């Protein structure tokens, strides 16, 4: 077998592997990025401030880490799970309807 024929055969094998991997990747579920977010994004998106994050961390309900310059960082999925675990509370008024 010549060197050229060997390279062509190897290229065909690599293309077949790439096609198989792309087909496999298409069947896998997409996972949303679970990145670390700061206090500003928690406040803007989830209406949760620094004190609430700190208290939840002290109670062991939420894993909070310290980033650069001692900024509080928390995983987005952890905040969502923590908020979903909390009971909904409405104002103590007569006639309150959900």
pLDDT at 97 over 60: no
What is the predicted pLDDT for the residue at 27?
Answer: 86
In this prediction, residue 68 carries a pLDDT of 85
**pTM beyond cutoff 0.85:** no
Handedness of CA 27, 28, 29, 33 (dihedral sign): negative
pLDDT, tens digit (0-9, with 9 covering 90-100), for 37-88: 999 999 999 999 999 999 999 999 999 988 888 888 999 989 999 998 888 7
């Amino acid at each position: 077998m010549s060197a050229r024929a060997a390279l062509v055969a190897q290229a065909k094998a690599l293309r077949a592997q790439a096609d198989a991997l792309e087909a496999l990747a298409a069947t896998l579920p997409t996972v949303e990025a679970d990145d670390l977010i700061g206090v500003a994004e928690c406040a803007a998106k989830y209406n949760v401030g620094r004190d609430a994050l700190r208290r939840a961390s002290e109670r062991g309900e939420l894993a909070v880490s310290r980033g650069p310059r001692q900024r509080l960082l928390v995983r987005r999925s952890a905040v969502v799970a923590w908020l979903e675990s909390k009971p909904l509370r409405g104002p103590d008024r007569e006639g309150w309807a959900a």
